[in-house]
Amino acid sequence: METCPSQRTANMFCFIIYLIALSLLEGTDATNQTFTSSGEMNITSCPITYYGQKYDRVYEADAQVDGLTVSKQKFQTADTINGVITDVSGCRLSGFVYKTNTTVSDPNICSTVTCDVSGVATAVSDCGPMERCQGNGVCVLNAMCSVTGSTVIDFVGRVHSVPDRCGYTLMGSLSFPGLRMLGVFQERRRKDVSFLDRVMLEGPGVQISLEQGGRVKLNDKVLMLNATAQVVHGVELSRDQTGVTAKMSASNYTVSVLFDGYTTLIHTTGPSEAAVDGLCGNSTSSLNDERVTGHWSTGCETEYDDAADSTINCNTTTEWCNLLKQAPFTACNEHINPEPFITACTNTLCKYPAVDGLKCQFLEAYARACSLHSNITMESWRTTTSCPAVPRTFCKDRFCSAHEFCGERNVGEPSCLCRAIFASKYRSTGTLGEPTVCQQSSASVILANCLLEDKSIDYSVLHLNDQACKAEMDNLTHMVMFNYNGSNTCGTVVTANNSEIIYKNTIMTRNISTSGLINRHSPVRIDFSCHYNQPDVTTLAIKIKHSSVIQNMTSGEWNYNLTMKAYTNADRMIAIQPSTDIKLDQKIWVELKTDGLNENMVLVVTDACWATDQPSPIGGLRYDLIIEGCPNPADQTVKVEGNGLGTSNYFSFNTFQFSGKTGGVYLHCKVELCVTQSNACAPLCNQAGRRRRSAMSTYEDENPAFISMAWT
């Protein structure tokens, strides 16, 4: 006999001993025994717990049946003073004893039990796979469906793995007519592993969405919830530190849904098993059959295959997941099979990093399922596994955008992180957001805040060249915008080269006074620009009776229109119409006007206008009207007004015809853009019409805009 070690569990055997159960066999007669010798042993210092009974004294006796000694038994019971014991040869099942070589129907476990001659019991349950015995021969519906990560463990213990980011029917039942429960899946850190993102309850004209951060929406309207249940369209909704709960009842059937942002537990009860559709149901439909449309992006069914994570040790992961078959989880193993949960755990953690508290979420799901289904609480499991003492709620009330999810950027610090697919299109090009958008005289840059935070960049300390021009973040999308326009250029620098006008600004970090020698803000300098590209030479010749020519000028990221229009009066109010009679040597006014340019930043200069007898600006005879921005000094009828002073100008001259020619006359003009910062856009012409100095060299373009018109 061994000495009992101190501080060991009460049910440890300290010596070899046989115990005898002293209850009458179920449905059998007791067999009388007599003792031929006996003895008593005190084991108070090391008591034994066996089948829930604590023993501190042991009695020894030789047992005989019909005068024959069958075994030497050791036991403790008050009945030994009468010298009577009970035959213990038989079967034990679910805490009940059955006589060998018998078959009985046991209402205590709602099963037909067969105990064979070898003492091995087998049971055939009278309850369905979704039912539970009440202990009185009555089976009732009591089933649990769990969804953690991409794995669905249905009501009958089957495992389904969702491979994409679509929506699926989780449950639909005739017991709840018109109700459909959907699960929407999204990727997180990897493109090839999806997670349950939200649970939706849909009924006629009603949609209730249980979302991340504990947010609940009714038809896209956010509901304010607390621990006190409120009924919304027949659904009881409540919210506490464990998550959001939705409960529905109909015809003695009840369905409750708990969603904590990571796992959903669907618990259904009722008088009897009913047909249930969806991934949680007891049907044989496939994943494709349960995929539904709407509420998620196009192409959600596309599957990815990311490179394996070399930091993951699948053997270590498997050991962790198998904790569900060890104490204290064994207290629940009889009620809820741990194998599906172990499969879900290993399938995910062998592929996806154990971050954001994911390791403990699978254990949490099993413990909660056990508590809801069988009312068994395993208080010590968190201590045993070193999981947090309370359920993780660090993402509670943190609402991320559609392209983000709530996770830990640093340990214990919740942040809205970029989803893998969203981030991949920017990371592959080394950018932090969308390309610059240039619209007429304004420009904007949109960056993703989650990408900025990945680089440890705080958007609130960023600004443009003008420090007063800061970013604005959209509260819904979490996209960060910088912009400027003609009325507020935010320090935009305008430059010119031979072919374009360039508007440039810079996103940079604000100078922050720091105490000490360190600074935790990453320095930032992001240049962006817009430009006007002068188009290729284009001739657009029409009869003057059409009165105007409009040509669209595409300038890189920006567009503007250039219009040439003819008038018969100096105030340019009476445009020449098709019916207007124009005579030779009649004065006309021609206006060159742009639309889409900001005169605070760029001006229009008419550098040259000339006439030819051919449609081509370089063919046939040529007569100059404007030379280098000034009137031709040989033609006193030519007058130029407003040249280089705005986004439009005009000139006048008397009509003419080439000598000896009866065909049309074609008017061509070359227009250039000039940066206002040069302060030298207006040509300086002397009284004779000649330019006094070359003020145009700072803006002269190799590819100016050309526009033409003709008259007969």
Which pLDDT tens digit goes with each residue over 528-546? 988 877 644 433 333 443 3
Residue for token pair 């179920």:
26
Residue for token pair 């001259």:
653
pLDDT band at 169 (very low <50, low <70, confident <90, very high): very high
Q: Once rounded to an integer, what is the mean pLDDT over residues 489-517?
A: 77
> Is pLDDT at 708 greater than 70 in this prediction?
no
Three-state secondary structure string covering 232-254: ECCEEEEEECCEEEEEEEECCEE
- Per DSSP, the three-state class of 546 is helix
| Cα–Cα distance for residue pair 393/588, rounded to 1 Å | 79
Q: Can you count the helices (H) and strands (E) in the chain?
A: 8, 47
Residues 6+ apart with CB under 8 A from 114: 102, 103, 121, 122, 123
Instruction: Locate 372 and state its tokens.
Output: 């809801």
Q: Once rounded to an integer, what is the mean pLDDT over residues 153-160?
A: 93
Between residues 358 and 702, the one the model is more confident about: 358
Q: Residue 184's pLDDT is what?
A: 95
What pTM does this model have? 0.68
- Does residue 115 contact residue 98 with C-beta atoms inside 8 Å? yes
Beta bridge partner(s), residue 105: 112
Q: Once rounded to an integer, what is the mean pLDDT over residues 174-200?
A: 92
Q: Residue 207's pLDDT is what?
A: 93
Q: Residue 73's pLDDT is what?
A: 46
| Cα–Cα distance for residue pair 250/185, rounded to 1 Å | 28
Residue 264, CB-side half-sphere exposure with 13 Å CA sphere: 34
Q: Residue 43's pLDDT is what?
A: 75
Distance of CA 649 to the CA centre of its chain: 54
Between residues 469 and 616, the one the model is more confident about: 469
| Cα–Cα distance for residue pair 489/469, rounded to 1 Å | 9
pLDDT band at 632 (very low <50, low <70, confident <90, very high): very high
Query: What is the average pLDDT score of the chain?
Result: 81
Which pLDDT tens digit goes with each residue over 92-120? 888 888 888 999 999 999 999 999 988 88
pLDDT band at 211 (very low <50, low <70, confident <90, very high): very high
Q: Once rounded to an integer, what is the mean pLDDT over residues 411-430?
A: 90
> Is pLDDT at 4 greater than 50 in this prediction?
no
pLDDT band at 391 (very low <50, low <70, confident <90, very high): low
Distance of CA 81 to the CA centre of its chain: 73
Residue 348, CB-side half-sphere exposure with 13 Å CA sphere: 32
Between residues 203 and 343, the one the model is more confident about: 343
Taken as a whole, the chain contains a residue count of 712
> Is pLDDT at 58 greater than 80 in this prediction?
no
Which pLDDT tens digit goes with each residue over 499-512? 777 888 999 987 65
| Cα–Cα distance for residue pair 97/23, rounded to 1 Å | 9
pLDDT band at 606 (very low <50, low <70, confident <90, very high): very high
Phi, psi (degrees; rounded to nearest 5) at 287: -60, -45
